[in-house]
Structure 1
């Protein structure tokens, strides 16, 4: 069977699809993965055939703000939300739809698998008369996140193409759901055509930092990451680093591509800074993950059975933090609550709270019981 997978050009949107795409390829299906060229090296490393499609999130916002001298911080919140709605609800879907149309014509796929942030994949498939199914990257939220800003423009765009139904439910199409049901949005669980698939972390091949394997498990290892999305976060990272350094623990920090490490100043001897780590391989070895609430890290921590201290900054991070806290798998600190002392005290509690550890372990068992990407790959022909 021939398939086209497609996602936005972002780690958090592309990585969740890779385990199923690779499993489908290994099952003998012909797979093409369409996204912006900047992520084609990642696809090459995964052994997948890349195809150019769409523009990046950064390019979409550059288009919107061309000629506007203001920085993002100077744009009023209501206006910024309108721009987000335009970027995700019209600009990127239109571009992906236009670029995928000739690829679909050339490759004649039996099925298009698009991720939930890239409905241009569905729109192109619908126009060409090709079946499509949606692939989630985490928990679906109905209130209080950035996705709320582009539901209306997306629904309007879909209606222009003759696609009706609930946008949040992928317009009634099958939805590959990697979120364990116990933390998924109940309204989504009740209405979606879910196809459960186990969340499998993906990271580019690499060695774990020295000292992780074979370390003394009597001394906790805390992992700190604020993700890969560019934002001004050095001050936040500094507060977290110094709070965690006060613990009797080893602290491993993935600084990511957008932090000026020099801005962190001198760090204590029990803190190690790394620009990048193979996160999916690392998490089973850590005792606590402190992070921004991105869907990839949240789902991976569920899979690994690791308690979480979440410091959300934007987008779906707030609802991920709320869900993690509500189920008892961790806690969250918001806005001005993120101080060195608060990070220290909450991390110390989470490292010793047996009730949180029990919940985290049960979540890992729930994830392990979900169908694997290999099992789901065998089912894909029935959706074509």
Structure 2
């Protein structure tokens, strides 16, 4: 099969799809991965063919309009003709990448939606103005489809069943896929400084790749966590200088980036902004979390994790060094939180992995049951 993957150009959109794309290539399928120029490098490091399509995320931010809806037409203008020329048998797009649905419809092949975290609530989907943009995209490419028919696609759901919120589901047809904490590039290693840290337990602090520049937040969290009797490993985010956070004691390590697949097995607790990638990564390793939600899906993620007893959450108005340090200290001292997180880890481990999902998507029975709507 020829499988085209397409994603909005952000780490939190590309990274969750990489395990499936790598598994597809490993199974012998021809794979192309389309995204913005700013996110092709992580894909190429996995040995995958990349297509540069649409604007970068920086261009989308400068435009000032809602990112996903506003960039869909430009991405489709690049993606559709390449898809027509390449003739994929299947198109897999992230849930916010609208051009993938249109490319699949124009070529006349199946479309599968890859979820990133909690399936987006219907009101939030409406607020992002995605349906009108998707309807217009289908009209302009004369597919005969619309946003409603697009949501008949199979949705690959990485969020564990016990943490799924109640309510209307945007994509009624779903198939589980096991989330992983990133896909390490060949040869990737943790720095030797991680092995030199003095304490038995380690806390990982990250604000991801979108909210890491929130003024003062990382500094506040470091100030609250550095006095706990644990190692503190901080990833400060792309484009940052660890030295800018000032001198740190020997048990604190700050780096712009560390591979979560290699780091999280060493940790006892994660403190983060609550993006889907790090929340799922921590849960996949059975780690309790302190969530400091800032925007996007983070408040929903925090809410469902707190309800499941695997996390504590502090809203924007409660973010002081003392509050963050105390929340982390309580979770580190509470074995029940780790027990509940371990139960979610077992649930995630039972979900089909990327190899199983690729095999299922390529099977004749699944192909027949999930044919592209006409």
TM-score relative to the length of structure 2? 0.89
Could you report, residue by residue, the CA deviation over 1:347-367 in whole angstroms, capped at 9, with x for unpaired residues? 000001111111100000000
Instruction: Give the 3-state SS of the residue equivalent to 1:187 in structure 2.
Output: coil
**Partner of 1:197 in structure 2?**
177
**Partner of 2:30 in structure 1?**
30
Question: Distance in 2 between the 1:214 and 1:252 partners?
Answer: 12
**Partner of 1:349 in structure 2?**
330
Question: Distance in 2 between the 1:287 and 1:263 partners?
Answer: 26
Could you report, residue by residue, the CA deviation over 1:31-55 in whole angstroms, capped at 9, with x for unpaired residues? 1111122222222210111112121
Cα shift at 1:258: 4.5
Question: Distance in 2 between the 1:263 and 1:164 partners?
Answer: 49
Question: Distance in 2 between the 1:282 and 1:43 partners?
Answer: 20
**Partner of 1:79 in structure 2?**
none
**Within 5 A, what are the aligned runs for 1:233-312?**
233-259=214-240, 261-312=242-293
**Within 5 A, what are the aligned runs for 1:1-384?**
1-62=1-62, 64-65=63-64, 83-84=65-66, 87-89=67-69, 91-142=70-121, 148-154=127-133, 156-157=135-136, 160=139, 162-164=144-146, 166=148, 171-187=151-167, 192-205=172-185, 206-210=188-192, 212=194, 219-229=200-210, 232-259=213-240, 261-381=242-362, 382-383=366-367
**Structure 2 residue runs without a partner (length 5+):** none
Q: CA RMSD in A?
A: 2.3
Could you report, residue by residue, the CA deviation over 1:39-96 in whole angstroms, capped at 9, with x for unpaired residues? 222222101111121212221232x25xxxxxxxxxxxxxxxxx22xx322x321112
Instruction: Give the 3-state SS of the residue equivalent to 2:290 in structure 1.
Output: strand
Question: Distance in 1 between the 2:193 and 2:134 partners?
Answer: 50
Instruction: Give the 3-state SS of the residue equivalent to 1:268 in structure 2.
Output: coil
Q: How many residues of Structure 1 are paired with residues of Structure 2 in the alignment?
A: 360
**Partner of 1:70 in structure 2?**
none
Question: Distance in 2 between the 1:51 and 1:301 partners?
Answer: 31
Query: Is contact 2:98-2:134 (8 Å) kept?
Result: no
Cα shift at 1:103: 1.2
